[in-house]
Amino acid sequence: MSKIAIIGSGNIGTDLMIKVKRTSASLEVAAMAGIDPGSDGLARARRMGVATTHEGVQGLIALPCFEEVAVVLDATSAGAHRHNAAALAPYGKKVVDLTPAAIGPYVVPAVNLGDHLGEDNVNMVTCGGQATVPIVAAVSRVAPVRYAEIVASIASRSAGPGTRANIDEFTETTARALESVGGAERGKAIIVLNPAEPPVIMRDTVYCLVPGCDEAEVAASVKEMVAAVAAYVPGYRLKQDVQFRPADGGTLVSVFLEVEGAAHYLPAYAGNLDIMTSAALRVAERLAAR
């Protein structure tokens, strides 16, 4: 078993810890670091026999088990990650960044994980990026994508302080990933925090403008990619068949998705958080195995 540490004892960090405990055959959570000594995440970690500290990354480094840690997963914020990455750099740990800081290359497991296993720091883009970049990549591998636009709609109740503090970074990071990983010539991202009660499941809409395409080939590529993502995010699925309609400059491809969470720690409607932890777990397993 390879040992990992988690920085961040909020919703994402806690869900990640529980997900590793319940589903991973190759990883063991050795430590969790936070900054709130009263957080539920740190309390749960202690009950699960995980070493804890409320002194952040410096407290993590000081823990006796830190030397055995192979991979550190950072579930804090973009600003905090820059500080954490600098503090961890001298120790040679692999770092998986679940914030929009994007110090390292963007990684979407179903698209480009194999290209970045040698990196010291990899970035998980955003929840919207993990959900939609694979679809843009699926279209772009069979037809040139001149423009990609995504709309990620999530339950307001599933957007914690970290998500809300990173809204600007979310749109910028996701748009860049649509281009650099998805293959679009130009990308745009929009996020909607839906206040509906009861909370709604995560929904994502992907629009791709292509100059022309074989519709059957595009639809088959998208369905293949959805299956690849669902292999590590079981609640990821198409809402309906891929749509095509004429548009200025070519054909508009529309893909409608939903992401249901596994409810390991968070409610099932919080698919936006579950897709991040599921993707990060897949990356951590591959990095540790390497």
Which residues contribute to the annotated binding site? 9-12, 158-166, 272
Which residues contribute to the annotated binding site for NAD(+)? 9-12, 158-166, 272
Q: How do the domains of the chain map onto residue ranges?
A: 2-124+274-289, 127-268
pLDDT at position 32: 98
DSSP string spanning 232-248?
Answer: T-TTEEESS--EEEEET
Q: Across all residues in the chain, what is the average pLDDT?
A: 96
| CATH topology (fold) of 2-124+274-289 | Rossmann fold (3.40.50)
Q: Residue 166 pLDDT more than 90?
A: no
Predicted TM-score (pTM) of the model is: 0.95
Q: Find the Cα–Cα–Cα–Cα dihedral 242, 248, 250, 255, rounded to 10°.
A: -20
Q: What digits encode the pLDDT tens for the residues 91-116?
A: 999 999 998 888 999 999 999 999 99
Residue 65 annotated among the catalytic residues of the structure: no
pLDDT at position 210: 98
Options 65, 127, 208, 213, the catalytic residue: 127
Pick the CATH number of 127-268 from 3.40.50.300, 3.30.360.10, 1.10.10.10, 3.40.50.150: 3.30.360.10
User: If you compute the radius of gyration of the chain from its CA atoms, what whole number of angstroms results?
Assistant: 19
Q: Find the Cα–Cα–Cα–Cα dihedral 211, 217, 221, 224, rounded to 10°.
A: 160
Q: Residue 59 pLDDT more than 90?
A: yes
Distance CA 4, CA 47 (A): 17
